[in-house]
């Protein structure tokens, strides 16, 4: 069967890998003054990859290598989403890299490799492939976090990230080995078949799945595996922090969504309460601790932990047990997760980009230093406000619609209490988001106050950042008032997850 593998289908992945190599090696031959062109070559390559993927895979459902790699609408949705996201992060880093990084080729090359890892995570139909794709992403992120090696904060956060990342990988691998030991397969559909045939879970399978959940929990920073996130987010270069908060989480949820809906769905009764508990703890703790943060990057870190809680609510609602006792896949939940991921990504990237621009002018990430931002740069504070409102889920912005999809799905699956909790948590989040906005717009220096870092600095927004912020701003509003297209795309991706594919003859089952 391997002889007739349609390698053409992998062209987009080949383009990504090739672009990574090209950008890396161009760095060697280009004269220094011309290296500014590297990110744009990379972005062009990413656009080419997305275009090829759309052309080659538009109406294809195919399993390559007996299910190791799955090309379907779901993979396609995440391919487009994750590559565009990576490209946006790349553009968002242009100004930062110019200022702080001497060898841009390494930064952009590794960034492209990490994008390759992300898209493989979404299309892997098998645990080991998914794991390796995740490591490709993680290793690239370790390097990106550590790239400012003379900054002691960056060093500290990189060390923490690498150690905990390796630790969580080990936990996950141990879990995979146990699942393999019991089921004899690492393929999602094989696991699903085993779970259907043996409804009473073996103790080894229970422990194995719990370990996999713990390992993935570390990667998405769900409570109680979240301790590393705020420190790492604070220490990493801001564009990389944005990438950590958005890209790695979106990719991890792409993996989780496929694994849980194609592999573990038959056993949903056994894990939905566990996931729901994690979701509740994550959204409560993330949002409560965010209130106390004085550093805006830490605040956004905790707020993104809270967002993970909402997404886990969607995962817990992935299946509904009907009257006959059969498990029915809930497309609404998976659509909700995908739509919320997109909305969250756009809003969070905008917020982090504003933080990056402010930092490059003032050298401060303290929320107290944001006083006077509205006067210095109305544009920045407008985008920041919209981004934070969207994260909080106010109407007319992306977050409202996406949260609506997600929480409805949760309520439908019987998690009314959790959806209610999520709404309360969103209200809490509004409080600390508003604090930043109040700083930027309302607060006036009183008698005897020192000038804040923002008030001292001269402000101008570099052109690339300006344009990028504009695009994100439009995106947030667009998703907020006209979400139908996005929801339709996510819907058809969910369809792909719900459909049982024709399982071709695989060598290893």
Partner 1 sequence: MNGVEGSSVTDVAFWVVSAIAIAASIMVVTLRDIFRAALFLALSFLAVAGLYILLRAEFLAVVQILVYVGAISILIVFAIVLVRDMPGGGKDNHLKVVAATVAALLGALAIFVSYNSDFTNLDALESSNADVAAALTGTYDLDASNAVGDEYEDQIAVAPPEGAEGTEIGIFSNSTGSIGGLFIRDFVLPFEAVSVLLLAAMIGALALLRQRGEES
Binding site for partner 1 (CB under 8 A): 2, 10, 17, 20, 24, 64-66, 68-69, 102-103, 106, 109-110, 113-114, 116-117, 120, 128-129, 132-133, 135-136, 139-140, 142-143, 146-147, 149-150, 178, 180-184, 202-205, 207, 505-509
Q: How far is the CB of 145 from partner 1 (least distance, A)?
A: 10
| Least spacing, CB of residue 427 vs partner 1, in Å | 37
Q: Which of 17, 225, 13, 42 is nearest to 124 (CA)?
A: 13
**Minimum distance from CB of 201 to partner 1 (Å)?**
10
State in angstroms the smallest separation of the CB of 312 from partner 1.
Answer: 24
Considering the complex, state which of residue 2 and residue 458 has its C-beta at the smaller distance from partner 1.
Answer: 2
Q: Are 472 and 344 in contact (CB under 8 A)?
A: no
**Residue 47 or 508 with smaller CB distance to partner 1:** 508
Is 143 or 236 the residue whose CB approaches partner 1 more closely? 143
CB 307 within 8 A of CB 344: yes
Rounded to the nearest whole angstrom, what is the least distance from the CB of residue 454 to partner 1 in the complex? 31
Written as one string, the DSSP assignment of 48-103 is HHHHHHHHHHTT--EEEGGGTEEESHHHHHHHHHHHHHHHHHHHHHHHHHHHH-S-
Distance in angstroms (rounded) separating the CA atoms of residues 165 and 132: 13
Q: Which is nearer to partner 1, 33 or 507 (CB)?
A: 507
CB of residue 143 vs partner 1: minimum separation in angstroms?
A: 3
Distances (CA, A) of 10 to 16, 110, 404: 10, 20, 36
- Given the complex with partner 1, which of 33 and 203 has the nearer CB atom? 203
User: Cβ closer to partner 1: 235 or 309?
Assistant: 235
Helix (H) or strand (E) holding 236: none
Tell me whether residue 155 or residue 366 sits nearer to partner 1 (CB atom).
Answer: 155
Q: Cβ 455 to partner 1, closest distance in Å? A: 34
Q: Which is nearer to partner 1, 68 or 320 (CB)?
A: 68
What is the closest distance, in whole angstroms, from the C-beta atom of residue 197 to partner 1 in the complex? Answer: 12
CA gap 443, 436 in Å, rounded: 10
Give 67 or 399: the residue with its C-beta nearer to partner 1. 67
Nearer to partner 1, 13 or 234 (CB): 13
Q: Which DSSP letter does residue 124 get?
A: B
Query: DSSP characters for 422-468?
Result: HHHHHHHHHHHHHHHHHHHHT--PPTTPPPPHHHHS-----HHHHHH
Cβ 193 to partner 1 shortest distance, Å:
13
Alpha helices in 124-202 (DSSP H): 127-146, 152-183, 188-197
Q: Which residues of 408-440 are buried (b: 16+ CB within 10 A; e: fewer)?
A: ebbbbbebeebbebbeebbebbbebbebbbebb
Looking at the Cβ atoms of 211 and 406, the one nearer to partner 1 is 211
Closest contact distance (angstroms) between CB of 48 and partner 1 is: 18
Angle between helices 203-220 and 249-258 (to 10 degrees): 160
Whether 109 and 478 have beta carbons less than 8 Å apart is answered as no
**Is residue 11 within 8 Å of 52, Cβ to Cβ?**
yes
CA distances (Å), origin 288, targets 282, 293, 427, 432: 10, 10, 11, 9
Least distance CB 252 / partner 1 (angstroms): 16
Asked if residues 138 and 165 have their Cβ atoms less than 8 Å apart, the reply is: yes
DSSP letters, 329-369, are E-HHHHHHHHHHHHHHHHHHHHHHHHHHHHHHHHS--BGGG
Rg (CA), the chain: 22
């Amino acid at each position: 069967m391997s002889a007739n593998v349609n390698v053409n289908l992998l062209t987009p992945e080949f383009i990504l890998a090739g672009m990574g190599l090209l950008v890396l090696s161009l760095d060697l031959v280009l004269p220094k003054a011309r290296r500014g062109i590297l990110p744009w070559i990379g972005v062009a390559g990413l656009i080419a990859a997305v275009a090829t993927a759309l052309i080659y895979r538009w109406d294809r459902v195919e399993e390559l290598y007996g299910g190791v790699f799955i090309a379907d609408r779901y993979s396609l949705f995440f391919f487009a989403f994750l590559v565009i996201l990576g490209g946006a992060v790349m553009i968002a880093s242009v100004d930062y890299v110019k200022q702080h990084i001497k060898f841009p080729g390494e930064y952009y090359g590794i960034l492209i490799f990490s994008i390759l890892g992300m898209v493989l995570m979404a299309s892997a139909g098998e645990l080991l492939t998914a794991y390796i794709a995740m490591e490709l992403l993680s290793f690239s992120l370790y390097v990106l976090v550590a790239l400012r090696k003379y900054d002691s904060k960056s060093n500290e956060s990189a060390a923490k990230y690498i150690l905990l990342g390796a630790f969580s990988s080990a936990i996950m691998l141990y879990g995979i080995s146990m699942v393999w030991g019991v089921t004899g397969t690492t393929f999602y559909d094989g696991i699903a078949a085993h779970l259907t045939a043996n409804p009473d879970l073996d103790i080894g399978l229970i422990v194995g799945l719990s370990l996999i959940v713990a390992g993935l929990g570390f990667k998405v920073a769900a409570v109680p595996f979240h301790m590393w996130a705020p420190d790492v987010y604070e220490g990493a270069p801001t564009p990389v922090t944005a990438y950590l908060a958005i890209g790695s989480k979106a990719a991890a949820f792409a993996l989780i969504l496929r694994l849980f809906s194609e592999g573990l769905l038959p056993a949903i009764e056994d894990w939905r309460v566990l996931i729901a508990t994690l979701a509740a703890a994550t959204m409560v703790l993330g949002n409560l601790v965010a209130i106390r943060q004085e550093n805006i990057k830490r605040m956004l870190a905790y707020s993104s932990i809270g967002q993970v809680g909402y997404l886990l609510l969607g995962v817990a609602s992935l299946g509904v047990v009907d009257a006959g006792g059969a498990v029915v896949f809930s497309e609404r939940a998976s659509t909700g997760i995908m739509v919320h991921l997109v909305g969250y990504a756009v809003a969070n990237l905008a917020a982090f980009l504003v933080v990056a621009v402010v930092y490059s002018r003032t050298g401060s990430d303290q929320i107290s230093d944001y006083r006077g931002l509205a006067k210095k740069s109305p544009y920045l504070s407008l985008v920041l406000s919209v981004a934070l409102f969207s994260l909080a889920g106010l109407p007319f912005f992306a977050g409202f619609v996406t949260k609506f999809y997600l929480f409805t799905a949760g309520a439908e699956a019987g998690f009314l209490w959790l959806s209610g909790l999520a709404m309360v948590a969103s209200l809490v989040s509004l409080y600390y988001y508003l604090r930043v906005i109040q700083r930027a717009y309302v607060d006036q220096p009183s008698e005897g106050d020192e000038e804040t870092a923002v008030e001292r600095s001269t402000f101008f927004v570099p052109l690339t950042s300006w344009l990028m912020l504009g695009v994100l701003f439009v995106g947030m509003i667009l998703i907020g008032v006209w979400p139908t297209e996005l929801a339709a795309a996510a819907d058809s991706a969910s369809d792909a997850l719900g459909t049982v594919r024709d399982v071709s003859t695989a060598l290893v089952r």
